[in-house]
């Protein structure tokens, strides 16, 4: 059970326990929250979420993800759901930030 990460999605208020290494999109599927994706590679910016708490529980962003977030004018509390992976919980993210 120790490789399961607690994650909650807002505003739906849905929580799931998801295996470490899963992306936020995969975690959303487990929680019953659909996150629309485009490129799946952190380039198009279709799927930003705001990390309300537990940002340290996500994998560190790759440079291309950071570049996309900056290009979109979003702050460092935002991640791309296709790219950010679960490391440890609890994590709370807010969808629908665009
Ligand atoms: S789907 Fe394109 S950045 Fe995530």
Ligand 1: which residue has its CA nearest to atom 3?
42
Whether 13 lines ligand 1, by a CB cut-off of 6 Å, is: no
Whether 28 lines ligand 1, by a CB cut-off of 6 Å, is: no
State the DSSP string of 51-74.
EEE-GGGBPPPPHHHHHHHHHTT-
pLDDT at residue 98 in the model: 82
- For domain 4-94, the question of CATH label 3.10.20.30 is answered with yes
pLDDT at residue 2 in the model: 63
From first to last of its 98 residues, what are the pLDDT tens digits of the chain? 569 999 999 999 999 999 999 999 999 999 999 999 999 999 999 999 999 999 999 999 999 999 999 999 999 999 999 999 999 999 999 999 88
Task: Give the DSSP H/E element, type plus range, for residue 35.
Answer: none
d(CA 71, CA 74) in angstroms, rounded, equals 8
- Give the pTM: 0.95
Domain boundaries, the chain: 4-94
């Amino acid at each position: 059970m120790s490789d399961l990460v607690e994650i909650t999605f807002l505003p739906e208020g849905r929580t799931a326990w998801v295996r470490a290494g899963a992306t936020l999109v995969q975690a959303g599927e487990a929680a019953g929250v659909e996150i629309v994706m485009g490129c799946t590679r952190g380039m198009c910016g279709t799927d930003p979420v705001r990390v309300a708490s537990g940002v340290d529980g996500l994998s560190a962003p790759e440079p291309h993800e950071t570049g996309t977030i900056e290009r979109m004018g979003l702050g460092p509390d935002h991640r791309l759901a296709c790219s950010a992976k679960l490391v440890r919980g609890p994590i709370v993210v807010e969808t629908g930030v665009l």
